[in-house]
Each structure stands twice: as C-alpha cells, then as structure tokens.
Amino acid sequence: MIAQPEEIKPETSWDVVIIGAGPSGSIAALELARAGKKVLVIDKESFPRFRIGESMLPHTNRVMERLGLMDRVRELPHMVKRGLEISFGDGRRDPAAIPFDRMLGDTIKETFNVRRSLFDQMLADAAMEAGATYQFGESVVSIDRLARGDVRLQLESGPIQANWLIDASGQACVLGRHFGTRKLLEGYQNVSYFEHFEGVDRPSGDRQGFATLAMCREGWFWMIPIDEKTTSVGVVLDDKLARLIPVPANQRLDWCIENCPLVKHRLRDAVGPKTNRVAGDFSYTCEPYAGDGWFLVGDAAAFIDPVWSTGVSLGIDGGMQSAQRIIEVDAGRMSAAAASKAYGKRVKRLRSSFLSLISNFYDHSFRELLVSGQSRLEIDAAVVNMLAGEIFEGVPLRVRWRWEIMRWLKEVNRHRKVVEWIRPHSLLQSGGIMLPKSRSGVFRGIKRRHRGQPSWQPS
C-alpha cells in the first residue's frame, strides 16, 4: 500500500495533530488511531524518501511485537542483527565481536537492519489502516495557539485546530525552534557523510548481519548491511577537522574510505556513487520535552550521536509513550501535568543514559578496553547489555555494578596499561594533512599518559 495525500479542509478540528511522518510520528499515530482518536499527520516531504538510521536496537523489536507489527517487519527486505563488531581503522587487528547473545538476563537478543524508506512506509501504512489521516507536502507556517484543548496551527493549506500537538519533525525541531529551546551540545559537533553500496565485504558465519564500526583518530565509520545486497556506509567526523579535507563535502566519504585501510579493504569490490549525502549538527537538546498540550518525540526532542543506533529506537519509544499519555489524560486516568512530567522524566533519563554510553565511546581508553577481548566477572556481557540499549526500563543491578567496574578500568588504563595501548589511525595524516595542534587530541585519552608515556604504543 502506498500512502496517498488527503485533502485537508480549512478549520478542520482534530484530537491530535502530529508533525512528521517518520517512525516516531507514525507510531504515535497508530496508537492514537487504535484508541479511537481523530489523528492528522502532516509532513513537508513525500514517500518514498531516503533516510539514514537503518540499524535498530533490540527495544525496537519489543515495540514492534507489542503493536503487532513484527510480521510486517519480517516481510520487508532486511537483515537480522545479532550484534556488532568494532575495530580500529588501521586494519591490523581483527574486529572484536559484540554479540547480543552475551547479554545478561532474559532479554531480546536480536534486532534488525532495514532500509528506512521501506520501514517508514510500512509504519505509515499501518497507522492509516488504523484510521489516521496523512497529509504529505504540507508545512507548518505558524503556531498561533498551543494549549491543551486549544492548539491552532496555520498550515500552507490553511488553519487547523486540535486538542493536542506532537512534534515528530526530526531535526527540523519545529517546536524547539518555535520556543527557542534548541541548544547544541558542546563537544559533539560532528558531521556525517554516507551512502548505500553493493558488493561490500561483510562479516560472515556467526557474525552475519553484524554492523561494523571502524574507529579512527578524527571519527569513525559504520558499515551496516540492510538487505541481501545493500550496505549503508558512512563516516562521522569532528566538523572542524572535516573541513580540512581537500575535496567538496559531497565527495568526502570516498576520500575518507581511501584513507582508512580497514574500510578501503571492505569496499574494494563495492559499487556505489562517487558522491555522498551529508548531515550535520548531530547533537542537541530541545528541553523541556512536554508541556501544556504538546510533546516532543524522537529527534525533535533531542539527538546526541548515531554511534549506538539509538535514534529510531528512542523515537519509536517516544512516539508510543506520548500517545499513551494523551490517551490516559483524555480518559481521566492521569492529569495533564502529571503526564507531561512523567514523559519528560523518561526522555531525560534515557537521553542521559545514552549520552553516557556515547561519551565513553569517544574516550580512547574505553575503546582500547572494548576491542581487547579480555574480560572477567562477565564485565563484557554487561557492556553488551549497555551497548545494545537494554536500558529503557532501567539498568539491572547485575549489569550496573559490572558497568561501573568497566568505567573504573577505563580510568586506570589511561595511566597504567590494563590492555594493549593502541595508536589510533589518522585519516588526515594518511591523506597528507597535518593535524592542527589544538585539535590533535579530539578524543579523550589521546594525550600523554602517566609518567610521560604516550597514550599509545606503536603497533
């Protein structure tokens, strides 16, 4: 089924208006429509459309099963994802495996990678079948009133009214910009260059379907198999360092691949475009995340960094949670103030937890531990729980204390060798570009260690 635009009549009233037809908006629309709400979803673009973010967390499976959509996911071209592998870009070490079946406890131990154009379409189709109305090619001109029971928007097609507003507009951050609350996070100003390729050399055997992360001094690559032939490939770089690359922005992925031995080897027989897509300003927050008659969900609320594939899973969770809060308030089971507070508290907790995970990833000492393959007390298993994002309903004690030991080891390893110290591969130096001294240690831990020893040893 292909989503078709529906004409909106001026002055039409709705129970809920949702800005954005991505996963978070469609999940909210599906939940609300199934509860009998009159729902309008507007989006300035049309389907099908290219989107990045093809790799999911196990929590996404949990939500899909709950909503009865997992069979639809299985019908889409996709790859089952049972873990990921991670290595340094120099290609001199075999990537370390992080299999989800190592996770502690009785939890979901697999998920999926999928082309977003197909996944987003499937969710929108499900919401429309439930009764939601979609209007594509429609933009918000102004927000004239924003209060529970009295939401008034001016669209390009005319004015509309609603009782509630959900902003699922992604990085457009419609409400965040309206309120002036969108703030960039210091230290996470990155830019990404990405495209789809065929013929990429992939992990096989018990690593089939694994996403691959290749870490370099200036950033990191992803290689994500999304169906039997297609692999999503991208690189995330510090924005200021990326500007030193001597080619246009739409050719920098190819330049970076050429200067990263591991990725270059994986793509030696690959077929794909020579130009790439670009996305920037990854990390920001638009707090507060809920208020009188409105909710921010997914990237419209906050985004940190794509490294642990949190974006879509957080968006889907936010879409479901915001819809449930609206249903509970309208049914008289919860006050509007309590609903806003509970929703905002959950988003803030999850954002803080994932920010901690991402912050550790950008610490070189943590990376050295991550790829070492050494572990006692099932610390590695607890790390898999964390990296797989199994923290939506809290972190169990058996995981929490092991994670804290890992963080302690990270600090020790910074000064005394717990595992092998590894010199990070530099894309810029490989490409003949000198790193500016002020930016030479982009990642924490790439500094001189205790007793004057360097933070790496030649290898």
The per-residue pLDDT for range 206-249, each reduced to its tens digit, is 999 899 999 999 999 999 999 999 999 999 999 999 999 999 99
Q: Predicted confidence band at 306 (pLDDT cuts at 50, 70, 90)?
A: confident
* Least confidently predicted of 33-42, 247-256, 414-423: 414-423
Residue 78 in this model has a pLDDT that exceeds 80 = yes
Give the span between the Cα atoms of 118 and 112, in whole angstroms.
13
Q: What is residue 338's predicted lDDT score, i.e. its pLDDT?
A: 97
**Which pLDDT score is estimated for 188?**
80
73 versus 311: which is more confidently predicted?
Answer: 73
Q: Is the pLDDT of residue 443 over 60?
A: no
Q: Which of 25-29, 208-212, 273-277, 450-454 has the lowest mean pLDDT?
A: 450-454
**For the residues 392-419, what does the mean pLDDT come to?**
90
Q: How many angstroms from the chain centroid is the CA of residue 366?
A: 21
Cα separation, 448 vs 441, whole angstroms: 10
- C-alpha 252/C-alpha 282 separation (Å) is 18
pLDDT of 281 over the 80 cut: no
3 pLDDT exceeds 80?
no
CATH topology classification for 13-70+116-184+284-354: FAD/NAD(P)-binding domain (3.50.50)
Q: Is the confidence at residue 436, as pLDDT, over 90?
A: no
Instruction: Give the pLDDT confidence score for residue 93 in this predicted structure.
Output: 87
Most confident of 18-32, 105-119, 396-410: 18-32
Which CATH code fits 80-114+188-280?
3.30.9.100
Per the model's pLDDT, the better-predicted residue between 391 and 54 turns out to be 54
Instruction: Locate CATH 3.30.9.100 in the chain.
Output: 80-114+188-280
Beta strand 219-225 with 39-43 is unpaired
Res 444 pLDDT > 60: no
Q: Boundaries of CATH 3.50.50.60 in the chain?
A: 13-70+116-184+284-354
Least trusted range by pLDDT, from 76-80, 177-181, 204-208, 288-292: 204-208
| Rounded-to-integer distance, Cα 23 and Cα 314, Å | 10
Tell me the chain's radius of gyration from C-alpha atoms.
22
pLDDT value, residue 12 = 78
- pLDDT tier, 50 (very low <50, low <70, confident <90, very high otherwise): very high
Q: How many CA atoms, within 13 angstroms, populate the side-chain half-sphere of residue 459?
A: 17
More confident residue, 375 or 21: 21
SS3 content of the chain, % helix, strand, coil (to 5): 35, 25, 40
The most confident of the ranges 142-146, 302-306, 355-359 is 142-146
pLDDT at 453 over 50: no
DSSP code of residue 397: H
Give the pLDDT confidence of 79-127 residue by residue, as tens digits: 999 999 999 999 888 899 989 988 888 888 899 999 999 999 999 999 9
pLDDT band with cut points at 50, 70 and 90 for residue 390: confident
55 — pLDDT class (breaks 50, 70, 90) = very high
Two tokens, residue 270: 């690959």
